[in-house]
Amino acid sequence: MTRPPAGAETERTEGPAEVPTNASGNGKTTLGDRVAKAGERVRGSEAWESIFRPGSPFRKGYADSPRNRSYVIMNNVLYHLHPVKVKRHGVRLSYTLCLGGLSFFLFILLTITGIFLMFYYTPAVPQAYNDIAALSTNVAFGQLVRNLHRWGAHLMVITVFLHMTRVFYHGAYKPPREFNWVVGVVLLFLTLLLSFTGYLLPWDQLARWAVTVGSNMAGYTPVFGQQVSFVLLGGIQVGAPTLLRFYVLHVLALPFLIVIFMAVHFWRVRKDGGISGPL
């Protein structure tokens, strides 16, 4: 293994103070020193440096310099989301309230908790309810994860909506950002659909009748009302086919769609000149 000569460290050990000194200064090698040294060795290793690209704060000998601050973003997957520099007003918390970023973060949180819930869930008619009920008794942290998923979903609807109002009041939909606003409206619609399809899955009275009321509205569509309702429910009323349909939409179809639209949304934010100008 060819290690590049690590400047700072080797110089220190070559100095006259061969005896390793610890915090208490009595010249003994403590466990803390050994751990620190092992950490240094790991962080200087080739494998470590293959993982963290130059400029990463996790690399050995990271120094806070303007060049490294640029590298942290430029040499990182984050470069897909953030430029190296942003306008100073965009960093102010009061400008965006982080609403867009938090919506994205909530989506990730919902994906993680959702995958956990999928391990214990069967989209079949009486079984779905029993599985959800069993989460609170048979599954470690099952109830907590379900709570996180549900409250996170409601919160995501709120943050997406507030993000839209924030963007409106800043006039941030104006040229050249018109199309990204349209993508954002699609994302709002998909968020509502995701929440609505997930609402049915516990298969309790609340879920079934809320979805009945909600999907009745779709049945009033002029001309094709009956057909729309039939396609949505997989029947003339909410039943077992509806559960399966909403399940597939909720865990696969809609997340797939929303991820594509999110990718376009984030890409356009960068391409349209980053965050909109100050008021």
Whether residue 238 contacts residue 200, with contact meaning beta carbons closer than 8 Å, is answered with: yes
Residue with tokens 């751990």: 35
Interface residue with another protein, options 170, 253, 255, 267 (CB under 8 A): 170
Question: CA 232, CA 38: separation in Å to the nearest integer?
Answer: 59
Residue choice 37, 53, 59, 150 for contact with another protein (CB under 8 A):
150
Single out the residue of 119, 268, 258 nearest to residue 179, CA to CA.
Answer: 268
Q: Which of 107, 121, 196, 246 binds another protein (CB under 8 A)?
A: 196
Please select the residue that binds another protein; options are 10, 13, 29, 136, rule is CB under 8 A: 136
The number of residues that bind another protein (CB under 8 A) is: 85
When the beta carbons of 13 and 216 are compared against another protein, the nearer one is 216
Candidate residues 60, 177, 245, 250; the one interacting with another protein per rule CB under 8 A: 177
Q: Please report whether residue 175 would count as binding another protein according to CB under 8 A.
A: yes
Contact 275, 96 (CB under 8 A): yes
- Quick one: which of 22, 45, 111, 212 contacts another protein (CB under 8 A)? 212
Site string for another protein, 80-109 (x = CB under 8 A): --xxxxxxxxxx-x----x--xx--xx--x
Three-class DSSP category at 230: helix
Residue pair 269/101 in contact (Cβ under 8 Å)? The answer is no
d(CA 135, CA 264): 36
Report the candidate in 35, 10, 11 with the shortest Cα–Cα distance to residue 22.
35
Each residue 12-31 as x (binds another protein by CB under 8 A) or -, in order, gives --------------------
Residue 118 interacts with another protein (CB under 8 A)?
no
Q: Is 245 in the site for another protein (CB under 8 A)?
A: no
